[in-house]
Amino acid sequence: MKATPHAPVDGTVFRNAAARFASGVTVAAAAHDGLHHAITATAFASLSLEPPLVLLALDRAGQLIGLVRASGHVGLSVLSVDQEQIGRRASTRGRRLQVPSDAAPTTTAVTGAPLLTGALAWFDCDVETISEHGDHAIIVGLVVAAASSEGEPLLYFERRYHRLGTQLGEPGVSR
Alpha carbons 97 and 167: distance in angstroms, whole number: 40
Q: In a 3-state reduction of DSSP, which class is residue 152?
A: coil
Q: What are the contacts of 132-135 at 24+ separation with CB within 8 A?
A: 132/60, 135/59, 135/60, 135/61
Confidence of residue 170 (pLDDT cuts 50, 70, 90): low
154 is a domain residue: yes
What pTM value is reported for the model?
A: 0.87
> What is the separation of C-alpha 74 from the centre of its chain, rounded to a whole number of angstroms?
10
What pLDDT, in 10s, does the model give residues 71-120? Answer: 999 999 999 999 999 988 888 777 665 645 556 788 999 999 999 999 99
96 is a domain residue: yes
CA dihedral for 82, 152, 127, 139, sign (positive or negative)? negative
Q: In a 3-state reduction of DSSP, which class is residue 56?
A: strand
Q: How many domains does the chain have?
A: 1
28 is a domain residue: yes
CB 26 within 8 A of CB 41: yes
CATH number for the domain spanning 48: value is 2.30.110.10
Percent with pLDDT over 90 in the chain: 60
Confidence of residue 35 (pLDDT cuts 50, 70, 90): confident
Alpha carbons 34 and 25: distance in angstroms, whole number: 26
Average pLDDT over residues 5-28: 89
Alpha carbons 77 and 69: distance in angstroms, whole number: 19
167 is a domain residue: no
**Enclosing domain of residue 125:** 23-159
Count of residues making up the chain: 175
State the pLDDT at residue 166. Answer: 56
Identify the CA nearest to 54 among candidates 115, 145, 116. Answer: 145
Q: In a 3-state reduction of DSSP, which class is residue 112?
A: coil
135 is a domain residue: yes
What pLDDT, in 10s, does the model give residues 126-151? Answer: 999 999 999 999 999 999 999 999 99
56 is a domain residue: yes
Lowest mean pLDDT across 2-11, 26-35, 145-154, 163-172: 163-172
15 is a domain residue: no
> What is the separation of C-alpha 87 from the centre of its chain, rounded to a whole number of angstroms?
11
9 is a domain residue: no
Q: In terms of pLDDT, which residue wins out, 102 or 122?
A: 122
